[in-house]
Amino acid sequence: MQLILASASPARLATLTNAGINPIVRVSNVDEETIEANMGSSTPSEIAQALAQAKCEKVTQELADSNELTPNTIVIGCDSVFELNGKPYGKPENAAQAKSRWQEMMNATGILHTGHYITFTNEHGEQNTAEATASTQVHLGELTEDEMDAYVKSGEPLAVAGGFTLDGLGGAFVQGVTGDPSNVVGISLPTVRKLLTELGITWTNLWNQAR
Amino acid sequence: MQLILASASPARLATLTNAGINPIVRVSNVDEETIEANMGSSTPSEIAQALAQAKCEKVTQELADSNELTPNTIVIGCDSVFELNGKPYGKPENAAQAKSRWQEMMNATGILHTGHYITFTNEHGEQNTAEATASTQVHLGELTEDEMDAYVKSGEPLAVAGGFTLDGLGGAFVQGVTGDPSNVVGISLPTVRKLLTELGITWTNLWNQAR
């Protein structure tokens, strides 16, 4: 079995690795901004799902073009969008925006949507797909002015959708979640397990597989 | 500032490290079984809190005895107990018990309680304490017989309270949580941040501190 993660996110890779799964990373270089710009009235969860599908399909096509789409190949694409007050939030553009976002987010609840899209090329070379969006409520804590300034200064908020992490420095500022925490990090483990089961693949058979 | 973690748990240490905090580990070797045996009618959360306090106080005393309890020393003790149907669950005793627990737990909701107890010896050598128990609901997924057997065979369930992890192989079997996920791993980051604030210590000042 060949397992490909179509994402450059180190947090997604670490989430899979910690759960016993060692994928090969293939970055899709999909033009996310253009796709998003063409989805004018879509919801944040629809945007996440469309981008996950675009990443997965692009990497699957590239593998096919280079004759690497061998039988028993799984390709997983993911994309995450943070929703606050009904609006989608990507990475903050600069430190000032990161701080003003936190002033809006603190003591509030947002929703982290992650789209998941999987292609599976089976032993006969036939391709099947499975997809699901998972959504987790994130309850942000209260930060003092000093804590907010220190967090923005760390640079972390500028690198991530929504301007916070659960698995990094931001973890101490998240009061709690309602839903799957791995989904907040960027790839929902129970969701991927369910999608693979739909495709006839047993999750635990992927453990300890050499690449 | 000297920060001591009174716990042997690699998961607690990793949780703090990922959040920017680098403690020194000092294992307490408290006799947990005797303490628990003497708490006959106590609730699972009371047991977790009592064990956290015992670990923290023992390490604090040992530091004092060896003249290492210098001004500005923080000692953090934690203990986790999993509650299912009102009963406390520690580590399963063997593979058969790990499997029968999973048969009971799957599709069910349990509560992971972590007790936190902190001593802070301030710049004048005065000692103050702060404590809190955090409780997170854990919603376990449905496992096939094959998945359950593979998980038990991995050995992971035998090493952890409740017979599952959120941050390891078990992550794919946890459908979601209600509350703080770091608390399920064994140390609640927002809770420790709050307790330190009560003791006059700013969390973000502990980032990037050399040991």
Own/partner contacts of B127-131, CB < 8 Å, gap of 24 or more, are: B127/B60, B128/B199, B130/B195, B130/B196, B130/B198, B130/B199, B131/B49, B131/B52, B131/B53, B131/B195
Catalytic position from the list A31, A65, A79, A180: A79
Own/partner contacts of B65-71, CB < 8 Å, gap of 24 or more, are: B69/B121, B70/B2, B70/B121, B71/B121, B71/B122, B71/B123, B71/B124, B71/B125
* pLDDT, average across residues A18-34: 93
Task: List the domain range (segments joined by +) for residue B21.
Answer: 2-206
Global pTM value: 0.95
Q: Quick check: helix, strand or coil at residue B73?
A: strand
- The band of A209, judged by pLDDT with boundaries at 50, 70 and 90, is low
Q: Is the pLDDT of residue A90 over 90?
A: no
Beta strand A127-140 pairing with A109-121: antiparallel
Cα separation of A83 and A65, whole Å? 36
Q: Is residue A160 part of a domain?
A: yes
Report how many domains make up chain B: 1
Q: Quick check: helix, strand or coil at residue A75?
A: strand
Cα separation of A11 and A14, whole Å? 5
Q: Is residue B181 part of a domain?
A: yes
* pLDDT, average across residues A11-26: 97
Interface contact flag, A171 B18, Cβ < 8 Å: yes
- Does B135 lie at the interface with A, CB-CB under 8 angstroms? no
The proportion of chain B whose per-residue pLDDT surpasses 70, expressed as a percent, equals 99
Report yes or no: A198 and A131 within 8 Å, Cβ to Cβ: no
Q: Quick check: helix, strand or coil at residue B74?
A: strand
Task: Answer yes or no: B31 catalytic.
Answer: no
List the CATH number of the domain containing B27: 3.90.950.10
- The band of B211, judged by pLDDT with boundaries at 50, 70 and 90, is very low
Polymer length of chain A: 211
Interface contact flag, A146 B18, Cβ < 8 Å: no
- Tell me which residues of chain A, numbers 14 to 33, contact chain B at a CB-CB cutoff of 8 Å: 15, 18-20
- Does A192 lie at the interface with B, CB-CB under 8 angstroms? yes
**Residues whose CB is less than 8 angstroms from the CB of residue B189 and which lie 6 or more positions away in sequence, other chains included:** A171, A172, A174, B15, B16, B19, B180, B182
Q: Write the residue in B136, B169, B176 that is nearest to A180 by C-beta.
A: B176
Catalytic position from the list B65, B79, B146, B167: B79
Q: Is residue B211 part of a domain?
A: no
First to last CA, chain B: 8
Q: Is residue A103 part of a domain?
A: yes
- Does A136 lie at the interface with B, CB-CB under 8 angstroms? yes
Q: Which amino acid is at A133?
A: T
* pLDDT, average across residues A70-99: 94
Q: Is residue A128 part of a domain?
A: yes
Q: pLDDT by residue (tens digit) across A97-117? A: 999 999 999 999 999 999 999
Cα separation of A15 and A25, whole Å? 13
Cα separation of B170 and B103, whole Å? 15
- Tell me the C-alpha to C-alpha distance, in Å, between residue A173 and each of A118, A181, A185, B122: 32, 14, 14, 25
Q: Is residue A182 part of a domain?
A: yes
Report yes or no: A25 and A8 within 8 Å, Cβ to Cβ: yes
Report yes or no: A36 and A51 within 8 Å, Cβ to Cβ: yes
- Does A148 lie at the interface with B, CB-CB under 8 angstroms? no
Q: Is residue B150 part of a domain?
A: yes
- Does A100 lie at the interface with B, CB-CB under 8 angstroms? no
Q: In chain B, which residues have their Cβ closer than 8 Å to the Cβ of A173?
A: 190, 193
Interface contact flag, B176 A166, Cβ < 8 Å: no
Q: Is residue A55 part of a domain?
A: yes
Q: pLDDT by residue (tens digit) across B22-60? A: 999 999 889 888 888 888 889 999 999 999 999 999 999
